Structure 1
Amino acid sequence: MKIVTISGARPQFIKAGSVSREILRQADSGADIHQVIVHTGQHYDENMSDVFFEEMQIPKPDYFLGIGGKTHGAMTGQMIEKIEEILVQEKPNWVMVYGDTNSTLAGAIAASKLHIKIAHVEAGLRSFNMRMPEEVNRILTDRVSSLLFCPTQAALDNLANEGVEAWSPDANVVLSGDVMQDGAMFYRELAQKPPGLVISEDFVLCTIHRAENTDDPVRLANIVSALNDIAKEKQVVLPLHPRTKSILQASDYDTSNLTITDPVGYLNMVWLIDHCDLVMTDSGGLQKEAFFFEKPCITLRDETEWIELVDNGFNKLAGADKAKIIELYYGAEFNTDFTLSLYGGGLASECIVMELLSGCE
């Protein structure tokens, strides 16, 4: 069995890395399974050198398309064209896609047009906000997939409510657990403190990257002001993308109390999550990683795909309301029973690969 895996950003490679290690483990045990990895180049990341793949123990891509920095339409269209050429050449049994990027959608469209079966990891997630490009990508990808690997029960319920059984006679929905938990458990032992960063014993880890926050001056001002006030009593470490950093520098926002740093590598980020007291973020992945490392989380968004974290009291939604952010920081009561199994307990990759193998028997 041959699988072509499509990825386009560092988080996708980290997720796919867990499944890749399981594929190699099964192949070493005699299973007939082989993987070809395609990197679309959607997100340029200077940290994704050969050293990145070696340190992260992830197989290097077999193809690099170099398609990034374009509009949604141009990027997705060019990816479809190039991925199609690869699929015609490789003739895989499955195309595997992850999450909700343009690379995800492009891989799904190219495969569906060639009648190649699609396995979607992180299927069924919904923010119910159709203004998010990611929401469009994940819905359309689910619609043409044959194997839908749901990380949570809520994701599985979303697909059931949408009538997944009527989409295709061979569509199969699997509650697999979350491959991000597999990765978090694997990389915890490899984590490294960010070099040169002076960090106190107690600190808050914060990230801001979503366009809904960084491109809205009012939302960004509210978030930064709240963080700056919090940082008067506890260190707030804020790794920032250069674009967001330049927006802050060009504004009148007071960031004098914040510990602002450049983006850090994944192993450095794992160390920060593992050692912080609290996570504040608008990232979907970091909300879950906070749970994996038993940290409370305040989410700087109006909604989240990971509703089970909110429902069970591990995560609080603050949006971009300064008063709400500060209120939650000082007064929120979080669930501290992190023994609750929400994401598969680190066995998602094994579930996914075994399901693929059983489907080819």
Structure 2
Amino acid sequence: MISALLVLNTGSSSLKFQVFSRIGLDVLMAGKLTGIGGEARLRFRFGSQSAPRGGPLDCKDHETAMAMVIDLVDRHDGDWQLNAVVHRVVHGGNSFSRPVIITSEVLEMLQALVPLAPLHQPHNLAGIAAARSLAPDAVNIACFDTAFHANHSPLFHSFALPGHLRDKGVRRYGFHGLSYEWIATLLARTRPDLASGRVVAAHLGNGASLCAISGGSSIDTTMGMTALDGLPMGSRSGAIDPGAITYMMRRFGYDPDIMDTILYEESGLKALSGISNDVESLLASNDPQAGFALDYFALKVAQFAATMTGSMGGIDAFVFTGGIGEHAAPVRERIRARLGFLGDIETLVIPANEERMMAIHADHILGGQPCAA
């Protein structure tokens, strides 16, 4: 019997999953179900064999999606015993600085954080609810995107706001922590010279941020209380003058829900280009606005890289990760061209692997020996 972990990354209309053996954390199965809420598609690989892409599936909600994944795992069961279901949870607030076993009390605390991550947290919680219902014998474990940043100095996590608001949790938290923690873990094994130094890591995808990592620890990051701050993203605005927000609310009569829609879903590269939030589409376009959007994005990455460098007092390397960071070479070159002011620094591309980082955490919680990256 092979002890196994099911690692889930639940999105608004997708469910990514991997099954890991607890011996060596080998990947036994991996896949992605897309199109939740409509005609879904399921792609997966079993061991080294990729399954052909099947026809559309009727998948009305996350519980249905989870049932499909559990059924798929059962049908390809290589004498596996599923010990735990491990969930990526975007926001852990002040309460969670490390992965935890999910209890009813934990769920209530995570529900209270939904307003801080309205695009992500509800879907994370839907995945947890479905897993608890469909795999009742497995332990459910939450791994948080905020946890890697939990020990930031007040110099970096504080807003210049009245104390009574800061005391109520109005502060910077930071996100993409599992991605950055994986980079720190991998560098410790493969590049100890850089792991002990000062690295600016850039997780660039439809959501994007930078992190200042010094000696393997997060010092500062560009996202703040929510996953809206910092860099412009696919459809998110990134940093914006807060006075512009209150102006729009007063001048145009926008309520908070409308502002959320504008800032989270109608801004970023999508708004700057007037074409798409998809970088591949923008790179293929001859429209000048597509080029403008990509130049704007590269400029902001470079500007915030200077901020992260200042937080550490220097820089030894710059790391690209995430979908854009790994696969969009022309965007990387636009950014590199603007990083010359940092001097002759090494740049690396490291594939994101939040799922393996989550598996390492879960195995540790369940009593396994620490596993090499």
TM-score (normalised: structure 1)? 0.34
TM-score (normalised: structure 2)? 0.33
